[in-house]
Chains A and B, each alone.
Chain A
Amino acid sequence: EVQLVQSGAEVKKPGESLKISCKGSGYTFTSNWIAWVRQRPGKGLEWMGIIYPGDSDTRYSPSFQGQVTISADKSTSTAFLQWSSLRASDTAMYYCARSVAAGLTTYFDSWGQGTLVTVSS
């Protein structure tokens, strides 16, 4: 069974750094892209970026380019999402999802449980 298990909820202050994780199991971690998706409170889904753990090839949504860094450690089957300086507007639930390539796009066939990030002074 494919499983993506994310790290726990975080409460941070503006300006602090943060790195959250997503550990995959039940499949060959290096064979599928892993995406990160943001969901602000009461809002829809926003695609942030994607990484191929096999070679760490990474693509970002233009909306998130330069705002976050996506990485992966294939030795531990874990993907990461990090911020160097958080803002209150980063308060959201963050999901990782296993991606399936589909022509010009990709879709997400398995999701992590989500990591709630709260940024408040």
Chain B
Amino acid sequence: SYELTQPPSVSVSPGQTARITCSGDALPKQFVYWYQQKSGQAPILVIYRDTERPSGIPERFSASTSGTTVTLTITGVQAEDEADYHCQAADNSGSDLVVFGGGTKLTVL
């Protein structure tokens, strides 16, 4: 089955830039979606269709693509950005509709 690979953890100091990657063989041909999940809360959508931000999501959240890797970038990280971040795409193998990455824990030092 198709897999999306994320690093288990990323750590940054407040005000720095955090970069969280999501890798998958088929990503050049499909959109990626990103969800933020704070501790004890439900996920929320922060990026859709690779680079679009839903209304209400701060401008410091952005995303870019390069080959088989998509990167979620948080510029000027704030303490409130500490959360798990999950990427999502279509299952390229065709056996399923949705696949999630394993999630990345962002720690703000």
Q: Which of B21-51 contact A (CB under 8 A)?
A: 30-31, 33, 35, 42-45, 48-49
In the complex, what distance in Å separates the CA atom of A108 from the CA atom of B88?
10
**CB-contact partner of A47 in B95, B96, B103, under 8 A:** B96
Q: Give the contact-size bracket for chain B.
A: 20 to 34
Q: Which of A87-107 contact B (CB under 8 A)?
A: 95, 97, 100, 102-107
Main secondary structure of the interface of B (DSSP, over half): loop
* Closest B residue, CB atoms, query A105: B90
**CB-contact partner of A109 in B30, B31, B45, B99, under 8 A:** B45
Take A62-B96, A95-B43, A113-B42 as given contacts and tell me if A108 and B35 are in contact as well, using a CB distance cutoff of 8 Å: yes
* Closest B residue, CB atoms, query A93: B42
Q: Which of B49, B89, B96 has the most CB of A within 10 A?
A: B96
Judge if A59 is at the interface, Cβ distance under 8 Å.
Answer: yes
Q: Name 19 extra pairs, CB < 8 A, besides A47-B96, A95-B43, A111-B44.
A: A45-B35, A45-B86, A45-B103, A59-B97, A61-B96, A61-B97, A95-B42, A97-B43, A102-B33, A103-B30, A104-B30, A105-B88, A105-B89, A106-B97, A107-B48, A108-B43, A108-B88, A111-B43, A112-B42
Interface positions of A (Cβ within 8 A of B): 35, 44-47, 50, 59, 61-63, 95, 97, 100, 102-114
